[in-house]
Structure 1
């Protein structure tokens, strides 16, 4: 199974930091955010990684190369003008499924988490099209995104919603009859939820949406402190 890191956004909320550096290359705990992902994916057994990029994408390729330095193989899906999340995944599908894979892992490049990617196994329900990792709602997103039902399926409505972490396992058929103009992933997932085809799990560990300079600084300080005390 292959993994994809979404790294094509302009990071406008991160300005001025992202005026000259793509957001996935911003440093936390002494290394770029995207390197944290690559190392955790490698340690979980994912050796083939696809990275999409647009804004300052040449810097990402120059920093990561073909992945050999990290013990993985990296291929790139260059977008030019950045596509939305679903569009970026669809553009990269030929790279993600070229070995006959039906399932692939996707992780947002602008988060940090201690989630163990090896926990992501294809849902037992043969009709499921996606497995989303959910987290408790952070202060900046108290309303959450989706309701995790007792049967393990996700619903866009309902009380006690959780927040989508940006980590998922997706089946290629989720994107049947869509092209790279499909837009964001959220509406695609909601349509699948309406057909009871999306499962979820709740991660109770560490997770950060690194969406602002302040959150990046806080994560950086926390990681350095953790390294000093470990």
Structure 2
């Protein structure tokens, strides 16, 4: 085959790739992303309104008044400070979540913990969850933690199960996650990313300028 003919074939193949193969690939990835988004959003339900902290504990209401919850995603955990292994897993996961969404002041983390104040302080210090603008911890007794779970309408089939509740910016409970399952925690991260308000381009530019 002559050199001109070879060049023509190569050019035709390149043209085919440009006009057919690449758009088809782009369409596939776009569709895959859309399907993923739809599936993830379908997993989020309307499970009622998030109970106000003051309805559960007066101290919680003082530290986290109702108006401070507006336009913020809330990730709420229910734990026992006496169950060390499960508490360590929760602490490690919560620390990672906080680190991942640390710049998002519209994402907050709330924990109701059965136990005593000294154990709570030790837990917060151990996992460096010291950001008082984003992390809120409330100590309860055995009766109060059950009241908190009931107020959130957590599944009652397994009373000993540790749960995390996700609330959207309209104060709607959207999903419950089993805190001891890493696949559930991973799904929580994906759902937070879907529900979190988009950062304005102007804010992104400002953040980048500060980091220079």
With the shorter chain as reference, the TM-score category is 0.3 to 0.5
Flag the structure with larger Rg: 2
> TM-score, length-normalised on structure 2?
0.34
Larger % of helix: which?
2
| TM-score normalised by L of structure 1 | 0.32
